[in-house]
């Protein structure tokens, strides 16, 4: 049960401090996945679950919560009996010896294959870790409200429609530009967070955005430590408050992080792809706002992105999806494929990029749903319920120069890098929608649903409505069961009303709708914003 907050929330600019009295010991626990309905128990008791991994959840729970879970047959292991005011890190071990080494530096507990939990008595446990070891801090807040308790539709291979406007955009990606940008970034010698080289690299990225007509600023957050974030933005013409993010971390590390950490693959490659996307998209207006983010503090534990994502949630920003690139230029074997990591709530982004890579780039991608892959900036967005994907060359990593002083441009495969940059840009462009030639996309699409029992089981009626537009012949209605993918038109002729009833659809899954306006010349607009309709809750739908 969450501790009642007796004091009002204290809101800081870009950050937040919780002040609440502690009632009884809060313990850090590992909760075994497996039994169905686990997420329902979390929600019913409003538990402080702070991290999802492939095989378990981690939570800050009191004894009543632990008892409630165990009574329901859930295996709970106590990792730390007093979790008050402590910072915990998830750490990806390099070898079997990592745990032995970490136990000399603090407390280390095995969570599942490839994941250790590390903490120290006081201070920032990140300072006690070797510099190159991937780590992520456990959030100080609950992620329970973001856990989907209903199954998502599973992906299936279906043909996607090609958008020639996206093809034109993607074809502008230049291998030579990417090469020049990677070289410029590696020439800072080190981009270790807090060094002069890191600050100079931030200024370089900022100036590059500005020079190419992209609004830019360098931001710093109270919760971000020394990390700075370079933010470039192109405002959307139709839906400026809905944001598509493409990002990469620009800080670097090595065995000599203060003096020499060229970080060409990790992660000048991803940053170069973000900068190239900004240069190109600046010339093609889109319906949605596109933000180009370069984070630092990633190697210390995602400091820049976690501060950014926290601020985004606290200011109610609507983020459609986040494409995070981290190491996209080393090929251990050709053809090299690009690996995409998503969590369950972001699985539609894996489908999207899979199709866009096939349609607009010469690249094979393989998608894995794995909530344990938290060692890059996309995971900061997962913590706040935002859809996000990671694009990476290999997992497990094959680059022998990873976090070494030899991670330089001459070891990279720039053809692979260019194809990866194209695939990512294609997904960003598809989601942001290049401005159309037809009428404006319809606004204020809303949906409500009712359900009923029939011989076929429980079914839903879904009623959608939108704002009328002048000078149009009508509207087309599209539905899908996978967000932002595979929209299918469900009306025969353009609808002339400003509402539509979709009757008798399956009740147990999510449905998503967009609509278009059809001009009097027959030219169709871009899609409206998407609305989602949840499944019928199990209690109401049960027979
Ligand atoms: Zn990296």
Cα(249) to ligand 1 centroid in Å equals: 7
Cα(327) to ligand 1 centroid in Å equals: 6
pLDDT, residue 96, reads 85
Residue 406 pLDDT class (50, 70, 90 cuts): very high
242: β partners: 318
Count CB neighbours of 396 within 10 A: 6
Cα(107) to ligand 1 centroid in Å equals: 25
pTM of the model: 0.93
pLDDT, residue 82, reads 92
Report the SS3 class of residue 307. helix
Distance of CA 228 to CAs 235, 283, 296, Å?
22, 27, 6
Report the SS3 class of residue 351. helix
User: Quick check: 155 pLDDT over 80?
Assistant: no
User: Quick check: 360 pLDDT over 70?
Assistant: yes
Cα(301) to ligand 1 centroid in Å equals: 11
Report the SS3 class of residue 295. strand
Cα(473) to ligand 1 centroid in Å equals: 50
Question: Looking at 22-36, 141-155, 233-247, 286-300, which range is the least confident one?
Answer: 141-155
Note the helical H segments in 187-248: 196-211
Q: How far apart are CA 208 and CA 325, in angstroms?
A: 19
pLDDT digits (tens, 9 = 90+) for 460-493: 999 999 999 999 999 999 999 999 999 999 999 9
Report the SS3 class of residue 261. strand
Contacts of 265 by beta carbon, 8 Å cutoff, 6+ apart = 327, 328, 329, 330, 393, 399, 401, 402, 407, 411, 412
Cα(134) to ligand 1 centroid in Å equals: 9
pLDDT, residue 335, reads 87
Question: Looking at 140-149, 151-160, 222-231, 421-430, which range is the least confident one?
Answer: 151-160
pLDDT, residue 154, reads 58
Burial class for 131, CB neighbours closer than 10 Å (0-12, 13-18, 19+):
middle
Q: How far apart are CA 251 and CA 504, in angstroms?
A: 52
Mean pLDDT of the chain: 91
The token pair that represents 165 in the structure block: 């406007």
pLDDT, residue 12, reads 40
User: Quick check: 354 pLDDT over 70?
Assistant: yes
pLDDT, residue 508, reads 86
Cα(299) to ligand 1 centroid in Å equals: 7
Q: How far apart are CA 180 and CA 348, in angstroms?
A: 33
Cα(137) to ligand 1 centroid in Å equals: 16
Question: Which has the higher per-residue pLDDT, 342 or 396?
Answer: 342
Q: Can you give the three-state secondary structure of 35-60, one letter per residue?
A: CCCHHHHHHHHCCCEEEECCCEEEEE
Cα(295) to ligand 1 centroid in Å equals: 10
Cα(195) to ligand 1 centroid in Å equals: 17
**Residue in the structure block whose two tokens are 């990029």:** 353
Phi, psi at 425, each rounded to 5°? -60, -40
pLDDT, residue 457, reads 83
Residue 4 pLDDT class (50, 70, 90 cuts): very low
Q: How far apart are CA 114 and CA 111, in angstroms?
A: 8
pLDDT, residue 121, reads 85
pLDDT, residue 348, reads 93
pLDDT, residue 436, reads 83
pLDDT, residue 330, reads 97
Cα(438) to ligand 1 centroid in Å equals: 42
Cα(92) to ligand 1 centroid in Å equals: 13
pLDDT digits (tens, 9 = 90+) for 192-251: 999 999 999 999 999 999 999 999 999 998 877 889 999 999 999 999 999 999 999 999
pLDDT, residue 257, reads 95
| CA-closest candidate to residue 151, choices 527, 507, 463, 462 | 507
Cα(272) to ligand 1 centroid in Å equals: 13
The token pair that represents 112 in the structure block: 């599942």
Cα(435) to ligand 1 centroid in Å equals: 33
Cα(320) to ligand 1 centroid in Å equals: 23
| Sheet with 531-533, edge to edge strand ranges | 488-489, 472-480, 511-519, 531-533
Cα(326) to ligand 1 centroid in Å equals: 5
pLDDT digits (tens, 9 = 90+) for 502-521: 999 988 889 999 999 999 99
Please give the helix or strand (H or E) that residue 317 lies within, else none: none
The whole-number average pLDDT for the span 299-309 is 95
Cα(384) to ligand 1 centroid in Å equals: 21
Cα(386) to ligand 1 centroid in Å equals: 20
Cα(377) to ligand 1 centroid in Å equals: 9
Distance of CA 518 to CAs 197, 279, 311, 496, 527, Å?
53, 32, 38, 10, 11
Cα(141) to ligand 1 centroid in Å equals: 25
Cα(445) to ligand 1 centroid in Å equals: 39
Note the helical H segments in 456-526: none
The whole-number average pLDDT for the span 2-8 is 43
User: Quick check: 428 pLDDT over 80?
Assistant: yes
Cα(507) to ligand 1 centroid in Å equals: 42
Report the SS3 class of residue 380. helix
The token pair that represents 276 in the structure block: 């190239």
pLDDT, residue 314, reads 95
Distance of CA 25 to CAs 28, 164, 212, Å?
10, 59, 54
Count CB neighbours of 4 within 10 A: 8
pLDDT, residue 153, reads 64
Cα(304) to ligand 1 centroid in Å equals: 13
The whole-number average pLDDT for the span 403-414 is 97
Return the DSSP state at 332: S
Residues whose CB is under 5 A from ligand 1 (ion)?
266-267, 326
For 105-166, the DSSP string reads TSEEEEEETTEEEEE-SSS-GGGGS-TT--EEEPPSS--GGG---SPPPPP--------HHH
Q: How far apart are CA 187 and CA 115, in angstroms?
A: 34
* β 239-249/228-234 pair status: unpaired
pLDDT over 90 percentage in the chain: 82
The whole-number average pLDDT for the span 12-33 is 65
């Amino acid at each position: 049960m969450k501790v009642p907050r007796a004091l009002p929330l204290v809101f800081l600019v870009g950050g937040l401090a919780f002040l609440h009295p502690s009632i009884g010991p809060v313990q850090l626990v590992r909760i075994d996945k497996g039994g169905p309905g686990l997420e329902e128990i979390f929600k019913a008791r409003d538990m402080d679950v702070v991290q999802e991994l492939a095989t378990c959840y981690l939570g800050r729970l009191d004894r009543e919560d632990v008892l409630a879970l165990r009574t329901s047959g859930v295996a709970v292991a106590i990792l730390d009996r007093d979790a008050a005011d402590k910072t915990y890190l998830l750490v990806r071990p390099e070898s079997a010896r990592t745990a032995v080494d970490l136990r000399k530096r603090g407390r280390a507990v095995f969570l599942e294959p490839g994941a250790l939990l590390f903490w120290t008595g006081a201070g920032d446990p990140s300072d006690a870790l070797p510099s190159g070891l991937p780590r992520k801090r456990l959030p100080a807040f609950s992620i329970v409200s973001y856990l989907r308790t209903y199954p998502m539709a599973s992906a299936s291979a279906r043909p996607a429609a090609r958008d020639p406007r996206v093809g034109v955009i993607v074809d502008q990606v230049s291998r030579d530009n990417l090469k020049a940008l990677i070289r410029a970034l590696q020439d800072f010698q080190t981009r270790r967070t807090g060094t002069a080289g890191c600050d100079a690299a931030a200024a370089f990225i900022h100036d590059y955005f500005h020079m190419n007509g992209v609004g830019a600023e360098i931001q710093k957050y109270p919760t971000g430590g020394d990390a700075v974030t370079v933010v470039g933005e192109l405002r959307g013409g139709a839906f400026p408050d809905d944001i598509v993010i493409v990002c990469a971390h620009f800080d670097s590390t090595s065995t000599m992080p203060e003096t020499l950490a060229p970080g060409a693959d990790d992660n000048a490659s991803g940053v170069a792809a973000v900068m190239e996307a900004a240069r190109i998209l600046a010339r093609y207006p889109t319906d949605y706002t596109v933000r180009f983010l370069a984070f630092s503090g990633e190697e210390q534990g995602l400091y820049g992105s976690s501060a950014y994502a926290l601020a985004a949630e606290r200011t109610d920003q609507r983020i459609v999806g986040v494409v995070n690139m981290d190491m996209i230029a080393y090929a251990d074997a050709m053809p090299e494929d690009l690996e995409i990591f998503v969590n369950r709530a972001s699985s539609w982004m894996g489908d999207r990029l899979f199709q866009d890579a096939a349609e607009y780039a010469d690249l094979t991608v393989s998608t894995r749903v794995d909530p344990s892959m938290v060692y890059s900036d996309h995971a900061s967005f997962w913590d706040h319920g935002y859809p996000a994907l990671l694009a990476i060359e290999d997992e497990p990593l094959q680059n022998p120069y990873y976090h070494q002083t030899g991670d330089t441009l001459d070891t990279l495969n720039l053809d692979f890098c260019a194809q990866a940059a194209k695939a990512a840009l294609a997904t960003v462009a598809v989601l942001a929608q290049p401005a159309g030639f037809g009428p404006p996309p319809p606004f204020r699409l809303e949906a409500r649903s009712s359900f009923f029992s029939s011989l076929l089981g429980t079914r839903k009626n879904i009623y959608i409505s939108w704002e009328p537009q002048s000078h149009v012949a009508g509207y087309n209605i599209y539905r899908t069961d996978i967000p932002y993918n595979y929209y299918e038109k469900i009306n025969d002729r353009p609808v002339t009303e400003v509402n539509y009833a979709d009757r008798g659809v399956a009740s147990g899954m999510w449905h998503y709708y967009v609509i278009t306006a059809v001009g009097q010349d027959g030219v169709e607009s871009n899609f409206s914003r998407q609305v989602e309709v949840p499944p019928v809750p199990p209690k109401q739908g049960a027979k």
